[in-house]
């Protein structure tokens, strides 16, 4: 199921695309009625339109980069839940190991010097299993939940930037109904697009920092715990 904020962003993008098309229709209608002595205005409008299309292209490129990097909050939460479930299973197993519930701890099933030696090392197994929950799964799940929060925050930032852009475009449309109003109207829209690009770029940069921090934390969790294999005596 799509997260509501993603749907909101898609709706805003559609709104912006429709507004740009409305501007194109207005420009075509107005320029079709321009007398020859106002050709200089036509030239200014054409130049402004070309600049606007360039900035709009940059905006779509930035959004494409954004969506190719930023994950889906639901998928991230699912990964966090999987780590949590793994931790619960490991915790249960660790309790079983230390609770005298292993067949290997029953002298009636297994006895002798080998059995005694094994029972003396059960604690090592328990520590390894417990570490999967206490030091790995818990941290991984928590880090992923934090990352999910960062993703949602970034999406809300994007929604705010696009909403402001849509408002700026509508404002520019209001100034573009006449031939003399077209150049400043398009300039207003160009300014709104530039502001949106800068805002999205900053949000994307901040998010990359959060991702790098999360990756460092998760990698350190794995390497510092040193749970890479069973205790040697078990192998």
pLDDT tens digits along 125-164: 777 777 788 878 888 888 889 888 888 888 899 999 999 9
Predicted pLDDT at 107:
64
User: 101-122 b/e with 16+ CB inside 10 Å = b?
Assistant: ebeebeeeeeeeeeeeebeeeb
Angle at 33 between CA 31 and CA 35, to 5 degrees: 95
Q: What is the pLDDT along the chain (235 residues), one digit of tens a residue?
A: 667 888 898 899 999 999 999 888 888 888 777 777 777 777 888 888 888 899 999 888 888 887 777 778 888 899 999 999 998 888 887 777 665 556 566 666 666 776 676 666 666 677 777 778 887 888 888 888 988 888 888 889 999 999 999 998 888 888 777 777 788 888 888 999 999 989 888 888 888 887 888 778 777 777 666 555 555 544 4
Angle at 132 between CA 121 and CA 234, to 5 degrees: 30
Q: How far is CA 53 from the centre of its chain?
A: 27
Predicted pLDDT at 81:
93
Predicted pLDDT at 108:
64
User: 211-234 b/e with 16+ CB inside 10 Å = b?
Assistant: beebeeebeebeeeeebeeeeeee
41 in Cβ contact with 183 (< 8 Å): yes
Nearest to 75 by CA among 6, 175, 10: 6
């Amino acid at each position: 199921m799509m997260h509501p904020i993603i749907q909101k962003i898609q709706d805003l993008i559609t709104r912006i695309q429709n507004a740009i098309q409305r501007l194109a229709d207005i420009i075509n209608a107005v320029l079709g009625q321009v007398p020859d002595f106002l050709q200089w205005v036509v030239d200014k409008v054409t130049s402004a339109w070309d600049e606007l299309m360039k900035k709009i292209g940059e905006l779509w490129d930035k959004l494409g980069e954004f969506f190719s990097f930023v994950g889906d909050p639901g998928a991230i939460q699912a990964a966090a839940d999987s780590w949590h479930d793994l931790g619960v299973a490991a915790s249960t197993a660790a309790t079983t190991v230390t609770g005298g519930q292993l067949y290997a701890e029953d002298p009636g099933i297994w006895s002798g010097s080998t059995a005694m030696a094994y029972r003396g090392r059960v604690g090592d197994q328990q520590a390894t299993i417990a570490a999967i929950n206490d030091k790995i799964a818990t941290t991984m799940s928590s880090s992923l939940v934090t990352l999910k929060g960062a993703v949602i925050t970034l999406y809300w930032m994007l929604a705010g930037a696009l909403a402001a852009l849509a408002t700026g475009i509508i404002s520019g449309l209001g100034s573009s109904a006449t031939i003399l109003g077209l150049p400043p109207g398009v300039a207003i829209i160009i300014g709104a697009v530039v502001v949106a690009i800068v805002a999205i770029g900053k949000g994307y940069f901040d998010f990359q920092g959060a991702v790098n921090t999360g990756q460092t934390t998760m990698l350190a969790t794995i390497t510092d715990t040193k749970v890479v294999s069973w205790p040697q005596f078990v192998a």
